[in-house]
């Protein structure tokens, strides 16, 4: 798996856009909206490589924070200028409100691309990049408010271990969110999807990234991944409660959610 992603790292984002015709952006937006983070949230994004979820999280929290500050400003309109000025010293216009995201990935190349992207797009504060294995996270127990894994869990050899680790590092009350390709039950759509996956995607891989085999691996790994109900059961086995899933695009992609209580 490691070598596949080494080849894939630099062209990852281009390939994602081509393969999904840009729809993966919408899926990731929906994930972060579902998360609905407030300022002060500590997020762990596993297999987050090139930073897509992390950047969306930061944007979301920033806009929530801006609204918070605007409301505060409105409340302060009856104060004197002196009092307003004094309140600045105390508040320290923390644009993120102490939110932080830790991006963890097993692959150095993916993290490198992510860091470059962050610099290029102007994300500086609130981001940390850590090398780590989802089956054995380098973090202490009960640390994070939210754990996300977007299009990463199917590449983990022992999914049950990854889920157990997710449970361990989440704080009580913390939320597990998983965005992943899943199973399409509609037979017509399923056939079209198969046709597209097996005929077009490896060709795109060869033409854009010069790498047929990695993308052949990709479509095969999607087919071998547990379907919605099975993944839900696995998440429950790891100790999560209120486990549920939401199908996007009739099951091409699904978001699974669970809580550590």
Partner 1 sequence: GRARPSHSEPRGRDGGGGEEEEMEGWQQLYPGHIPTSPLQKALLAAGSAVMALYDPYRHDMVAVLGETTGCLALPNLRDKMKNHPEGYRILQERPRIRLSTLDMARLQGLPDGSLGREYVRFLEDNKVSPDTRMPPKFVDDEELAYVIQRYREVHDLMHTLLGMPTNMLGEVVVKWFEAIQTGLPMCVLGAAFGPARLSTRKLQVLATELVPWAIRSGLNASCVLNVYYEQRWEQPVESLREELGIFPPP
Contact residues toward partner 1 (CB under 8 A) are 190, 194-195, 197-200, 202-204, 206-208, 210, 212-213, 216-217, 220-221, 223-224
**3 versus 80: smaller Cβ distance to partner 1:** 3
**99 versus 197: smaller Cβ distance to partner 1:** 197
Smallest distance from partner 1 to CB 181, Å: 12
Which two tokens mark 95?
A: 């644009």
- In this structure, are residues 96 and 62 in contact, taking their beta carbons and an 8 Å threshold? yes
**67 versus 158: smaller Cβ distance to partner 1:** 158
**196 versus 241: smaller Cβ distance to partner 1:** 196
Smallest distance from partner 1 to CB 231, Å: 14
Smallest distance from partner 1 to CB 87, Å: 56
Smallest distance from partner 1 to CB 156, Å: 16
**91 versus 220: smaller Cβ distance to partner 1:** 220
**6 versus 29: smaller Cβ distance to partner 1:** 6
Smallest distance from partner 1 to CB 161, Å: 20
Smallest distance from partner 1 to CB 38, Å: 40
């Amino acid at each position: 798996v490691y070598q596949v992603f080494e080849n894939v790292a630099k062209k990852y984002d281009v390939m994602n856009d081509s393969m999904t015709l840009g729809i993966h952006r919408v899926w990731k937006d929906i994930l972060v909206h579902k998360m609905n983070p407030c300022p002060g949230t500590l997020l762990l994004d596993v297999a987050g490589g090139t930073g897509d979820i992390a950047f969306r999280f930061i944007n979301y929290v920033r806009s929530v924070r801006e609204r918070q500050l605007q409301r505060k400003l409105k409340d302060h309109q009856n104060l004197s200028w002196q009092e307003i000025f004094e309140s600045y010293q105390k508040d320290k216009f923390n644009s993120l409100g102490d939110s932080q995201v830790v991006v963890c990935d097993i692959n150095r190349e993916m993290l490198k691309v992510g860091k470059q992207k962050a610099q290029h797009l102007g994300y500086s504060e609130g981001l940390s990049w850590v090398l780590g294995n989802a089956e054995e996270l380098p973090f202490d127990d009960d640390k994070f408010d939210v754990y996300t894994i977007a299009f990463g869990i199917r590449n983990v050899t022992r999914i049950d271990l990854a889920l157990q680790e997710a449970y361990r590092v989440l704080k009580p009350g913390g939320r597990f969110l998983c965005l992943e390709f899943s199973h399409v039950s509609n037979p017509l759509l399923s056939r079209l999807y198969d046709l597209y996956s097996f005929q077009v995607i490896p060709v795109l891989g060869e033409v854009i990234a010069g790498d047929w085999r990695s993308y052949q691996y990709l479509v095969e790994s999607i087919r071998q991944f547990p379907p919605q109900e099975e993944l839900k059961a696995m998440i429950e086995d790891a100790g999560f409660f209120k486990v549920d899933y939401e199908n996007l695009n009739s099951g091409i992609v699904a978001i699974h959610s669970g809580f550590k209580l």
